[in-house]
Chains A and B, each alone.
Chain A
Amino acid sequence: MDVRAQLVMVFNLDKCIGCHACSISCKNIWTDRRGAEYMWWNNVESKPGVGYPKGWEDQGTYKGGWVAGGNRLRLRALGKVPTLLNLFFQPNLPKLTDYYEPFDFDYGNLYGAGDADDQPVAGAFSQISGRKIESIQGGPNWDDDLSGSRLYAANDVNLEDRGIVEDYGRMFLQYLPRICNHCLHPACVASCPSRAIYKRGEDGIVLVDQNVCKGWRFCTTACPYKKVYFNWDSGKAEKCIFCFPRTETGQCNACAHSCVGRIRYVGVLLYDTERVEQALLEPDDRLVEAHRAVILDPRDPAVREAARKNGVSAQWLDAAVNSPAYALVKEFGLALPLHPEFRTFPMAYYIPSLSPVLSVEGESHELMEHGLFPEVDSMRAPLSYLASLLSGGNRDVVAAALARLIALRVFTRAKNLDQPVPGGVLERAGLDEAAAVRLYRLLTIGGYGERNVIPAQQREEQDPHVRKGAGGFGILKKAGRRK
């Protein structure tokens, strides 16, 4: 057992209102600069939809992630020798227009324009070439809320029945906020011939060393979530850094901090490094269980001992015990990994959305009058869709999570109305009253300190020489192209 700790984020999709406050705060802090205009380390997609970059989930096109062949994993894109042979041109690299060409508006024209018969306008121009853009072809979140679109939503690879997007009685919409998953078996790390990308041992954050990166771009292709971006100005790869300057000091990530829906949880998970690869060899529909098996119980004395031996501090072990992520991912099995079948072992987890609770067959007001919630498989967002998104096609694990959420609602509703709790409702979902109360708090009224349990870095345990070098103002040298 080789126990390590990682900070992970959990998203409660039920509560995401698609406001993009998360994306904006991330952009303001990290990517509001030349070469990074088009990057959204945090982005929020409308589902069904094609996402950002367009169609990222389609690995037939982008060739991201790993495939399990026999008893080993290999990168879907390129092996080691083919990597060297493709240094000069990458067959599956996404291009700028797969994201969008960043633009701004010429506001100066509004007050600088000369006399004319018409009002002056602020025309759009490209932030890269500087040329005027007559008609904008794409932008951040271009298919926002277009879940009924034949152009976008119908091309969502998770849809079993594409007709659903045009059938008013059945169409549905939900949001999917995405950051880098800081995977346990990151394809981006493995694909880098310069070895510039690495996973931090202490907290699992995956980073690109800007000094080492030579801009070979294999990571951009290899990440199945398309969360490594190529900076066209500095010629290097960049990605979400999990706000490490914040989390190291115990503050939560900017996206989580600004989240209007309070849908995000940040906490510690302990995992067994030795079991990761084996778990990823399981067939698609067993991957969620395999994931959960790799995540260890922070109360288990053997686990704690092994963790201590690996240098996980007491403070981190405490945080692991109180971790909202552990409760949601493992203890109650509510949160699921995004596309586990990409086999990078993503460490961002999603609680599938229950809403809208409208049943296809029934009338909503009748349901409400009877104090009932719809059955799992009569819910608006098809189970097959959620299973394709969050469980490698395994409907049972999604259904179990949804059943728990429904039981929780039935229980809480009865409590709130001072009515008797229908018999066996919690038990059938594998919960008891204490668990239900705890989950209720966590999912609804839990405050900042309950949603985010982030242990700071143990500075006193670090080598003073390392600490001295790491405690400055960051990189002050100039990046970019030499002109």
Chain B
Amino acid sequence: MLNVFIFVVLPYAALALLLFVTPYRYFSNRLVWSAYSTQFLEQKALFWGSIPWHYGILPVLAAHLVSVILPGPMKAILGNPRALILLEDIGQGLGLLALFGCLALLLRRLRTPMLKAVTSAADLALLALLLVEVATGVYMGIFIRGGPLWYLYTAVPYFHSLLAFNPQVEYVADFPMVFKVHAAGAFLFVAVLPFTKLVHLLYLPVGFLKDPPILYRWRTSKTGE
């Protein structure tokens, strides 16, 4: 029952929310679409939180995704035990970095009076969710060795079955509770994404890389070609 909830109901519900709420938010009011940075109000603790957090979590997240998108090449790479150990160690290090950053961010929110005015319940809940997510991830990294490999042969095919709308829970059903918490947290993350400031990560600011530096806009249709 729990398995069906975590591995079938949750992911599809999360996906549906992501696909339908995000455009709604985009078209209804983009004035509340921001990274909601608080660096302007507090800088010192943010440095120790934001940098380890982002530089830790982004590569780890990317690794999760690459295995789903390119399972073939990943199998080839991880077939080499040295590469497996290396990747596992790097991942573990990054995970710890993210854990540290996340903890620092949460403490900062709780301990800086200036931030009270800009901290909502959603901000705290989000940080707590991320903390659980990273903590369970790091825990599995330590106690269930060979993470990149077993992830590739269990979670990845499960994801593929999800995407094919033919969810095969068997792949992941026998994992211990900590894995299930981690998975549930991940789906929850996707589900709340369109409702929170997390939307900022749906927008990659890369358009400016190719643009000329000075952007002009014309109100009249006649001018500026």
Question: Do B217 and A198 touch (CB < 8 A)?
Answer: yes
Q: Report Cα–Cα, A220/B39, bound state, in Å.
A: 12
Identify which of A123-131, A297-305, A332-340, A397-405 touches chain B. Answer: A123-131
- Contact partner of A214 among B34, B53, B118, B218, CB < 8 A? B34
Question: Do B46 and A232 touch (CB < 8 A)?
Answer: no
A185: interface (CB < 8 Å): yes
Range of interface residues on A (Cβ < 8 Å): 35 or more
Identify which of B25-33, B90-98, B136-144, B145-153 touches chain A. Answer: B25-33
- B209 proximity list for chain A (CB < 8 A): 80
Q: Report Cα–Cα, A193/B196, bound state, in Å.
A: 22
A199: interface (CB < 8 Å): yes
**Quick one: given A95-B43, A463-B220, are A214 and B213 in contact (CB under 8 Å)?**
no
Q: How far is the CB of A89 from chain B (nearest CB, A)?
A: 5
- Contact partner of B217 among A199, A230, A477, CB < 8 A? A199
Q: Report Cα–Cα, A203/B40, bound state, in Å.
A: 31
Residue from B29, B41, B46, B209 with most neighbouring chain A CB atoms (10 Å): B41
Q: Interface readout for A183-197 with B: 1 if CB under 8 Å, 0 if not?
A: 001100110111101
**Quick one: given A186-B214, A217-B40, are A88 and B200 in contact (CB under 8 Å)?**
no
Question: Do B219 and A462 touch (CB < 8 A)?
Answer: yes
Interface residues of B in 85-122 (CB under 8 A from A): 113-114, 116-118, 120-122
- B30 proximity list for chain A (CB < 8 A): 211-212
Question: Do B216 and A131 touch (CB < 8 A)?
Answer: no
A233: interface (CB < 8 Å): yes
Question: Do A463 and B221 touch (CB < 8 A)?
Answer: yes
**Quick one: given A89-B39, A95-B41, are A202 and B218 in contact (CB under 8 Å)?**
yes
A61: interface (CB < 8 Å): no
B72: interface (CB < 8 Å): no
- Contact partner of B117 among A87, A129, A213, A475, CB < 8 A? A129
Question: Do A193 and B205 touch (CB < 8 A)?
Answer: yes
- Contact partner of A477 among B29, B46, B51, CB < 8 A? B29
- B122 proximity list for chain A (CB < 8 A): 482
**Quick one: given A95-B40, A194-B203, are A88 and B120 in contact (CB under 8 Å)?**
no
Q: How far is the CB of B32 from chain A (nearest CB, A)?
A: 6
- B42 proximity list for chain A (CB < 8 A): 95
Q: How far is the CB of B211 from chain A (nearest CB, A)?
A: 7
B224: interface (CB < 8 Å): yes
Question: Do B205 and A128 touch (CB < 8 A)?
Answer: no
B161: interface (CB < 8 Å): no
Q: Report Cα–Cα, A93/B38, bound state, in Å.
A: 11
Question: Do A470 and B219 touch (CB < 8 A)?
Answer: yes
A322: interface (CB < 8 Å): no
B24: interface (CB < 8 Å): no
Q: Report Cα–Cα, A220/B40, bound state, in Å.
A: 10
**Quick one: given A95-B41, A211-B30, A217-B40, are A200 and B117 in contact (CB under 8 Å)?**
no
B54: interface (CB < 8 Å): yes
Q: Report Cα–Cα, A477/B220, bound state, in Å.
A: 25
Q: Report Cα–Cα, A362/B196, bound state, in Å.
A: 69
Question: Do A216 and B35 touch (CB < 8 A)?
Answer: yes
A236: interface (CB < 8 Å): yes
Question: Do A195 and B39 touch (CB < 8 A)?
Answer: no
**Quick one: given A88-B51, A90-B39, A481-B120, are A189 and B32 in contact (CB under 8 Å)?**
no
Q: Report Cα–Cα, A479/B36, bound state, in Å.
A: 12
A94 nearest CB neighbor, chain B only: B40
Q: How far is the CB of B110 from chain A (nearest CB, A)?
A: 14
A374: interface (CB < 8 Å): no
A99 nearest CB neighbor, chain B only: B40
Question: Do A129 and B113 touch (CB < 8 A)?
Answer: yes
- B196 proximity list for chain A (CB < 8 A): 482
Question: Do A199 and B36 touch (CB < 8 A)?
Answer: no
Q: How far is the CB of B186 from chain A (nearest CB, A)?
A: 21
Q: How far is the CB of A272 from chain B (nearest CB, A)?
A: 14
A478: interface (CB < 8 Å): yes
- B80 proximity list for chain A (CB < 8 A): none
Q: Interface readout for A214-233 with B: 1 if CB under 8 Å, 0 if not?
A: 11110010000000001011
- B38 proximity list for chain A (CB < 8 A): 232
B51 nearest CB neighbor, chain A only: A89
Question: Do A198 and B120 touch (CB < 8 A)?
Answer: no
B154: interface (CB < 8 Å): no
**Quick one: given A88-B54, A129-B116, are A80 and B208 in contact (CB under 8 Å)?**
yes
A363: interface (CB < 8 Å): no
Q: Report Cα–Cα, A95/B112, bound state, in Å.
A: 15
A1: interface (CB < 8 Å): no
A480: interface (CB < 8 Å): yes
**Quick one: given A235-B37, A481-B36, are A199 and B31 in contact (CB under 8 Å)?**
no
- A185 proximity list for chain B (CB < 8 A): 213-214
A479 nearest CB neighbor, chain B only: B31
Q: Report Cα–Cα, A457/B218, bound state, in Å.
A: 12
- Contact partner of A216 among B40, B50, B205, B213, CB < 8 A? B205
Q: Report Cα–Cα, A235/B36, bound state, in Å.
A: 5
Q: Report Cα–Cα, A194/B220, bound state, in Å.
A: 23
Question: Do B220 and A230 touch (CB < 8 A)?
Answer: no
Question: Do B50 and A311 touch (CB < 8 A)?
Answer: no
A93 nearest CB neighbor, chain B only: B39
Offer 7 A-B interface pairs, CB within 8 angstroms, sorted by A. Answer: A89-B47, A93-B43, A233-B118, A235-B34, A466-B221, A482-B196, A482-B197
Q: What is the interface of chain A, defined by CB distance below 8 A to chain B?
A: 80, 83-84, 87-90, 93-96, 126, 128-131, 185-186, 189-190, 192-195, 197-202, 210-217, 220, 230, 232-236, 310-311, 457-458, 461-463, 466, 470, 475, 477-483
